[in-house]
Chains A and B, each alone.
Chain A
Amino acid sequence: MKPRYYLGIFLLIIPVQASLLSPLSLGDIKPDLVLALLFIIGLLSSPWEAALAGMALGLLQDVSAASLIGLTGFTRGLVGLGAGLLGRRMFDVTSPSTVLFLTAFSLAEGIFIAILLQVFYGSVPFWNLLFTRLLPQALYTGLLGYFLLQPLRNRKIVLALKRRDIQREL
């Protein structure tokens, strides 16, 4: 993806996620726009580029949320890498079924963070978190991803965004 797209994403994604998505929250559950966008970047670019984008976006989120710096960068890097590898193996990255993978990635990231917090601090109420927060949030993020994927179903947009090496493979 072109650097100017990344610049736009990096500038806008945090305030958009923090302000615009707040009205969409159901209780504590809010769709994760950053993850959905990263997943799409992963599908459309190389695994390395998606991993770097994930690390950068995650670090930005960590710093803006006064969180443990590097934790979201680490997990988002893994998500980007996974989405990038997945994108290379999928016949049609714009298929609606890809949101199932997004849901799975979101859930896996949540579980991974819960495990890390258990290792670092202990006493994480894992099952409670899983059913009251992680699973609903993953489903909601999947739903958001479905709507984000809709414009990409126009082949021209996909081709415009795809890296040259992926295009060659297609």
Chain B
Amino acid sequence: MAGFIRKNKRSVVILILFAFLFWLVTIQVKNGRFPFMEKPMLAVAGFFERIIAAPFRFLESVGTRYVYLVRTERDNERLKQELVRLQIENSATNEILSENERLRALLVFKKQNPPTAITVQIIAKGNAPASNTITINKGSDDGVEKDMAVVAEDGVVGRVQTVLPGTAKVILLTDPGSTLAVRVQRNREEGLLEGKLGLCALKYVSFYADIQVGDLLVTSGLDGLFPKGLPVATVLQVTKHEASAFQKVTARPIVSLSRLEEALVLRK
């Protein structure tokens, strides 16, 4: 045995490391996630994200304009330059209009929920394949706290997971670690919505409950984190198995999480 281990030392070390990582995962599934490294990582990653994203946007705009200029033919150079200028202006105007629309919608939402909302911008999106998180540009300095609800004008986005003075990590609805108490708006059936990567699963819904494709799920307020009645997701698929006491319900979030640029953090 000792000879075998000595002979295959590297393989054994790798095997032990794999076993250790798997054990680590099972421990967290049983007892909850480890939060100990989240804050230092958020501090480092948030710093780099801010630094990297800004010049990238600048280079992107410079690069686009340069490509336009190189391709411009001599005869119609002036016309093309004019076109480029107009296109940039048009694009900028559209961007402002689009931002204006989004902010107006947020403002309406903020008026409906008067004293409690902090407007935030999304500065980065999570990158691990088994999780869905975003980083926002406000933190404890602005009043953001752990477990605060994050919403957009259409509905629920997620909840605050880790907070630093100038930034915070938000765990999205679709993250496997996210659970949310919801009810079906049509018939008030209750369930627990869990994240399943890009989608969600409504759990603990009785076999006999009337759930239909297209039903709107809203927050029930029973978890104490989200106000009651916020739109969360629509039912995508319902599967019933005779052997199970519960239905298998798949839902898609109302908010387009991949296109999210601004959101509101609701104070408790």
Q: Please give the residue numbers on chain A whose beta carbons come within 8 Å of chain B beta carbons, in ascending order.
A: 11-12, 14-23, 25, 27-28, 30, 32, 34-35, 48, 51-52, 55, 58-59, 61-75, 77-78, 81, 109-110, 113-114, 116-117, 120-125, 128-129, 132-133
Contacts and interface: CB of A to CB of B under 8 A. Distances in A.
Given A15-B124, A117-B196, 8 more contacts: A14-B45, A19-B52, A20-B56, A64-B42, A65-B133, A70-B28, A123-B248, A129-B196
A73 B21 contact: yes
A68 B21 contact: no
Contact of B53 (A20, A58, A75, A78): A20
The 7 nearest A-B residue pairs measured at CB: A15-B48, A67-B131, A70-B24, A65-B128, A123-B201, A18-B124, A65-B126
Chain B contact residues: helix, strand, loop or mixed: mixed
A16 B52 contact: yes
A71 B25 CA distance: 6
A19 B122 CA distance: 10
Contacts of A109: 129
Contacts of A120: 25-26, 29
Given A74-B21, A128-B250, A133-B198, A123 B49 contact: no
B123 A19 contact: yes
B245 to A, nearest CB: 13
Size bracket of the B interface? 35 or more
Question: Secondary structure at chain A's binding surface: helix, strand, loop or mixed?
Answer: helix
B135 interface: yes
B228 interface: no
B162 interface: yes
B60 A23 contact: yes
Interface stretch (B31-39, B89-97, B105-113): B31-39
A65 B14 contact: no
16 contacts: A15-B45, A18-B125, A18-B135, A19-B53, A19-B56, A25-B258, A59-B21, A61-B128, A64-B45, A64-B127, A66-B133, A66-B161, A70-B28, A75-B129, A77-B18, A128-B236
B169 interface: yes
Contacts of A34: 127
Contacts of B10: 48
B39 to A, nearest CB: 10
A67 B128 contact: yes
